[in-house]
Amino acid sequence: MGRLEGKSAVITGAGSGIGRATALLFAREGAMLVIADKSDAVQATARDIAAAGGHADALTGDAGDEAFVEALVARAVSSHGGVDVCFANAGITGGPVPFFDLTPAQWAEVLRVNLIGPFLAIKHAARPMIGRGKGSIICTASVAGIRSGAGPTPYSASKAGVINLVATAANEFYGTGVRVNAICPGLIETGMTKPMFDYARERGTIDRVGQLNPLTRGGIPDEIAHAALFLASDDASYVNGQALAVDGGLTSSLPVGKRGKEKPARFN
C-alpha cells in the first residue's frame, strides 16, 4: 500500500512545476485527487495520472478566489467522502519590478494569490478535517520568506506571511488533530524560474546555479514533492506549525553574492 492509500487530497497549482510533481507522486502513493490550476495544463496532469492508473478530478480556476477554493474542497468531499490532505501550492512572483516602481495594485495581487490563497485553502479544508478529527494542510512558502535575496519584495513578504500563517493556524486548530505546515523551497527549476535556468545554460554557466548553498546546485520539483508527501503522510503525525526549508542548506548560513556600490537609480 502507498503512504496515502485511500486518502483524499486537494492540490492547487498542479498544472506545472512543484504542484504537478506532487500530484503525480501523491497519485502513485494511492491518493484520490482533486487538482487545480489557473492554466488548462492541469488537465494534462490529470491525464498523466489516469495513464498511470490513478484518478484526479481537474478544475481550472483562481486559487485566490474564495468561491473557487470552496468548490475544490466541496468536490473532494462529494467525490471522495472528505479531505485528508490539502496542499496550497499555487503562487506568483509578481515579476522583477524595481522597488520604487511597485504599485499598491501589484502588491495586492501578489498578496491575494500567495497569502490570501493559502488562507482560503486552510479555512475551507480545515472544516471537514476537524469533523473527522485529523488532517494535514501544507502551504508552499519560500526561502524568500525567511531571508532577503531570494525573490522580489512583494513575493518575499507574502511568503513570510505564509510562514506565520501556518504557525498561527496550527494554534487556531488546537486540539482538533489538524496539522498545518509550510514548505520553503530554495532554488527549484520550475516554470517560474525557467528563464534564469535557460539563461545560465545559454551562457554556459549552469554549473554556477545554486552555488551559494552547500550542495552547490539547484533543486527539482520532485524533491519538494517528496517533502510534501512526508508532511501529508502519517510519518509526520507529530509535525505541526512548522516551516520546512528544502533548499540545499541555503538558509543554514548567511550567503550573499557580490553587491555593487551604486546607489539605486532613483537616488542618482
Q: Is 147 helix (H, G, I), strand (E, B) or coil?
A: coil
Q: Rounded to an integer, what distance in angstroms lies between the CA atom of residue 75 and that of residue 124?
A: 12
Query: 58: which strand partners?
Result: 35
Burial of residue 61 (CB within 10 Å: 0-12, 13-18, 19+) is middle
Q: Rounded to an integer, what distance in angstroms lies between the CA atom of residue 119 and that of residue 64?
A: 9
Q: Is 221 helix (H, G, I), strand (E, B) or coil?
A: helix
Query: Of residues 155, 174, 199, 238, which has the active-site annotation?
Result: 155
Side-chain-side CA neighbours of residue 230 (13 Å): 15
Q: For strand 85-88 and strand 8-12, is the pairing parallel, antiparallel, or unpaired?
A: parallel
Is 155 catalytic? The answer is yes
Residues labelled catalytic:
155
